[in-house]
Amino acid sequence: MVQVLLEERARRIRRTILRLAATSVGCHLGGSLSMVELLVVLLGRVMKFRPEEPRWEERDSLILSKGHAAAGLYAALAEFGFFDTEELVQRYNADGSPFTGHVNAAVPGVEFPTGSLGHGVGLGVGLAMGYRLRQRSNRVFVVCGDGEMGEGSNWEALQIAAQHRLSGLTVLVDRNGGQNDGPTEAILSQASLVERLRAFGLKTFEVDGHDLDALGRALEEPSEEPRAIVARTQKGAGVPMFRGKGPHYATFNADQLRRALASLGEVTP
Amino acid sequence: MTGSTTSSGADLLTSPQDWLREQPGLANRQVFRHALARLADVEPRIVLLEADLAGGGDPFAARHPGRFFNLGICEAAMLDIACGMAATGHVVFAHTFAPFGAMRACEQVRLGLAYARANVKLVCDYGGLSGAFFGPTHHAIEDLAILRAMPGMTVVSPADGLETIQATRALLEMEGPVYLRLGRNRVTRLEVARPAFALGRAMCLREGGDVGIIAHGEVGVSVALDVATRLEAQGVSARVVNLHTLKPFDEEAILETAERTRLLVTVEEHSILGGLGGAVCESVATHGVGRRVVRAGIQDRYDSTAGTHEALLQRHGLEASALVESILNALPRPRLAAMAPGARRG
pLDDT class for B4, splitting at 50, 70, 90?
very low
Mutate which: B88, B107, B109, B113, vs A, most A CBs within 10 A: B88
Which residue of chain B has the CA closest to A103? Answer: B116
Delimiting residues of CATH 3.40.50.970 domain(s) in chain B: 16-181
Report domain extents, chain A. 2-264
| Sequence letter at residue B212 | G
The CATH architecture one would assign to domain A2-264 is 3-Layer(aba) Sandwich (3.40)
Pick the CATH number of B203-335 from 1.10.1040.10, 3.30.230.10, 3.20.20.140, 3.40.50.920: 3.40.50.920
Task: Judge whether residue B231 has pLDDT over 70.
Answer: yes
Mutate which: A129, A140, A159, A164, vs B, most B CBs within 10 A: A129
Which residue of chain B has the CA closest to A104? Answer: B116
CB A145 within 8 A of CB A65: yes
Q: Do A134 and B89 count as a contact with CB atoms less than 8 A apart?
A: yes
Write the residue in B72, B85, B108 that is nearest to A129 by C-beta. B85
For A205, counting Cβ atoms within 10 Å of its Cβ (0-12 exposed, 13-18 middle, 19+ buried), the class is buried
Give me the pLDDT at residue B341, please.
Answer: 47
Which residue of chain B has the CA closest to A140? Answer: B84
Q: Do A113 and B111 count as a contact with CB atoms less than 8 A apart?
A: yes
Instruction: With beta carbons under 8 A apart, name residues in chain B contacting A152.
Output: 76
Give me the pLDDT at residue A266, please.
Answer: 74
Cα-based distances in Å from B305 to B129, B134, B136: 11, 10, 9
Which residue of chain A has the CA closest to B86? Answer: A130
For A231, counting Cβ atoms within 10 Å of its Cβ (0-12 exposed, 13-18 middle, 19+ buried), the class is buried
CB B239 within 8 A of CB B260: yes
**Chain A interface includes B114 (CB < 8 A):** no
Q: Which H, E and C letters describe B132-183, residue by residue?
A: HHHCHHHCECCHHHHHHCCCCCEEECCCCHHHHHHHHHHHHHCCCCEEEECC
Q: Do A127 and B88 count as a contact with CB atoms less than 8 A apart?
A: yes
Cα-based distances in Å from B132 to B205, B219, B307, B335: 29, 13, 7, 42
Q: Do A127 and B84 count as a contact with CB atoms less than 8 A apart?
A: yes
Binding-face residues of B in 66-85 toward A, CB within 8 A? 66-67, 69, 71-72, 74, 76-85
Q: What ranges make up the beta strands (E) of chain A?
A: 61-64, 140-145, 169-175, 178-179, 182-183, 203-208, 227-232
Q: How far apart are CA A64 and CA A148, in angstroms?
A: 12
Tens digit of pLDDT for each residue in B37-69?
A: 999 999 999 999 999 999 989 999 999 999 999
**pLDDT 10s per residue in chain A (269 long)?**
566 799 999 999 999 999 999 999 999 999 999 999 999 999 999 999 999 999 999 999 999 999 999 999 999 999 999 999 999 999 998 999 999 999 999 999 999 999 999 999 999 999 999 999 999 999 999 999 999 999 999 999 999 999 999 999 999 999 999 999 999 999 999 999 999 999 999 999 999 999 999 999 999 999 999 999 999 999 999 999 999 899 999 999 999 999 999 999 876 54
Q: How far apart are CA B228 and CA A134, in angstroms?
A: 51
CB count in 10 Å sphere of residue A201: 16
Tens digit of pLDDT for each residue in B179-190?
A: 999 999 999 999
**Shortest Cα–Cα distance, B102 to chain A (Å):** 16
State which fold the B16-181 domain adopts.
Rossmann fold (3.40.50)
CB B155 within 8 A of CB B127: no
Q: How far apart are CA B147 and CA A176, in angstroms?
A: 37
Write the residue in A105, A116, A125 that is nearest to B107 by C-beta. A116
Q: How far apart are CA B53 and CA B76, in angstroms?
A: 14
Collapsed DSSP state (helix, strand, coil) of residue B190: coil
Task: Judge whether residue B298 has pLDDT over 90.
Answer: yes
Higher pLDDT, B201 or A269: B201
Interface residue ranges in chain A relative to chain B, Cβ cutoff 8 Å: 105, 111-114, 116, 118-119, 121-131, 133-134, 136, 152-153, 156-157, 159-160, 163
Write the residue in A134, A136, A153 that is nearest to B80 by C-beta. A153
CB B180 within 8 A of CB B168: yes
Task: Judge whether residue B6 has pLDDT over 70.
Answer: no
Check: pTM over 0.80? Answer yes or no: yes
Write the Ramachandran bin of B97: left for phi over 0, alpha for psi from -120 to 50, otherwise beta. Answer: beta
CB B296 within 8 A of CB B268: yes
Q: How far apart are CA B346 and CA B48, in angstroms?
A: 61
Give me the pLDDT at residue B1, please.
Answer: 43
Write the residue in A116, A123, A136 that is nearest to B84 by C-beta. A123
Delimiting residues of CATH 3.40.50.920 domain(s) in chain B: 203-335
Average of per-residue pLDDT values in chain B: 94
